[in-house]
Structures are given as C-alpha cells and as structure tokens.
Amino acid sequence: MSAKAVKTSKPSASKEPSAVTKLYLFAYNAGQVAGWSYILWQLVNYYLLQGPEFRAQQTLWEYTRLAVIIFQNAAFVEILNASFGLVKSNPVVTGFQVFSRMMVVVGVVMATPTGKVSPGLPIALFAWAITEIIRYGYYALNIVKVVPHFVVFLRYTTFIVLYPIGVTGELLCFWWAQSYARENSVWSVVMPNKWNATFSYFGFLWIVMLGYIPIFPQLYLHMFAQRRKILGGAPSGAAKKKAN
C-alpha cells in the first residue's frame, strides 16, 4: 500500500505548475476579476446611479463596449491555457463556452446595429459579469491554495440560475441581429464572385442559434456533474463534508 502511495504521488508532483506559470495564471485571472468587476460597476452605474439624461446620451453598448471587447475576447487565452496543459480544463468544453460569448460580442453586437440595442445585451452582461467575477476569483484563489468555502459554493451553485439567464440574453441578441441581417445583406457573400462561393450571415446566425439546443444542455449538465463532484450534490451535503 505504501508503494502504491509513492507511485501515485509522483505524477501529481510532476504536474505541479512552475512558479512562473502560477504567477502568470494568477495575474491573468486576477486581471479578469478586475475587468468584469468594472463591467458590473458600469451596468450598475448606467441603470441605477445615472439618470435618464445620461442614458439618452449613449447606449449601454457605447458605454461598456471597450471593457467588454477587451475582457470578453481575453477569454480566448483560456483555450490556449487548456490546450497547452497549463490548467486542467477540458479545451473542447472551454472552447464552446468561450466562442459562444465571443460570437455574441464580435459576430452579433459589433456586427449589427440591432444587436447593440437588443434587450438581451444587459441581461447577458449582467449574467456574464457575476459569473466571471466568481469563476476567475475562484481560479485565482485556487492557484495560491486559499479558497474560502463560500467561494467554492458560489462557483458551483450560481451557474444554476446565471447560465440560463446568460443564454437567454445571448439568444435575444442573436434574434435582434438576425432581423437586421434578414433585411440587409450584411457580412454575406453572394454569387457570382471570383471565389465561386456563397455565405449567408443570416443563415449563419440561425445555425449558431439552433446549435444552442444540443450544446447548452451538455454544458449545463457538465456543470452539475462538477457540482456533485465538488459539493456532493447539495448545499447540505457540502456543509456536512466541510464539517467532517
């Protein structure tokens, strides 16, 4: 039994990230926490702290676009981290999660005027901001091995409500964008052309929207599986486990 313990301890030791890797991962995650905290503050400021005159001068997207473009697209780094083995995340699952949001920002909101004023934008940003503050905060604290139990609980519980809210906001953005794409031939390639190829932006938006049907349940159930693994399936079970 002791030999087995020694044998299993070696791989975990060899997989321990270097100090440089830990510093990089901590800085990246801490930076994302700061960025999404700023976006959440912008949402609160825009809707609760400022008056109608402020909102009449600029749309939510005009107010938040720089921060959203920077910190949402910075999530692409997560795919690289997972692909190169710097973190234990599944690169395929990470890729779906990251690209769906990047598609909303770059391929929907930035690409169409209707996406910028969609009622789904504040819904999505609100869900994204809270989710990412908790998620990146959990990752950063986990690197230094100081993770309070309430952070673990939030990481594997808030998604139950926030994921459906976020997806609802994303799909509303898609819906507002496809209405514009249907009436205007934007970002499309029509025949004839020198490439002898065609592309319909309107059709592409619908393909992505319909892709949520098979993909979202898998990602959602994956998070429930992770929750059962970490918390034991219920808050009471988690508390009992912590007490023991």
Residue 156 counted as domain residue: yes
Q: 157 is written with which tokens?
A: 């519980």
Q: Is 16 a catalytic residue?
A: no
Distance of alpha carbon 65 from alpha carbon 70, whole angstroms: 8
pLDDT at 189: 85
Question: Which of 24, 38, 163, 220 does the annotation list as catalytic?
Answer: 163
Q: 149 is written with which tokens?
A: 């139990």
Domain that includes residue 200, residue range = 19-231
pLDDT at 88: 87
Residue 25 counted as domain residue: yes
Average pLDDT value over all residues in the chain: 89
For residue 90, the 8-state DSSP code is: -
Number of domains within the chain: 1
**What is the CB neighbour count within 10 angstroms for residue 30?**
16
The percentage of residues in the chain with a pLDDT greater than 90, rounded to a whole number, is 74
Residue 239 counted as domain residue: no
Residue 48 counted as domain residue: yes
Q: Is 220 a catalytic residue?
A: no
C-alpha torsion sign, points 119, 125, 126, 127: positive
pLDDT tens for 72-131 read: 999 999 999 999 999 988 898 888 889 989 999 999 999 999 999 999 999 999 999 999
Residue 12 counted as domain residue: no
pLDDT tens for 15-55 read: 688 999 999 999 999 999 999 999 999 999 999 999 999 99
Residue 238 counted as domain residue: no
pLDDT at 97: 83
Residue 234 has pLDDT above 60, yes or no: no
Q: 35 is written with which tokens?
A: 């960025």
What is Dmax (Cα atoms) for the chain? 72
Contact 138, 155 (CB under 8 A): yes
Residue 7 counted as domain residue: no
pLDDT at 197: 85
Which are the contacts of 144, defined by CB distance < 8 A and separation ≥ 6?
22, 26
Place of tokens 């770059």: 106
Contact 186, 180 (CB under 8 A): yes
Residue 244 counted as domain residue: no
The percentage of residues in the chain with a pLDDT greater than 70, rounded to a whole number, is 89
Question: Which of 28, 138, 139, 170 does the annotation list as catalytic?
Answer: 170
Dihedral of the CA atoms 91, 93, 97, 98 (nearest 10)?
10
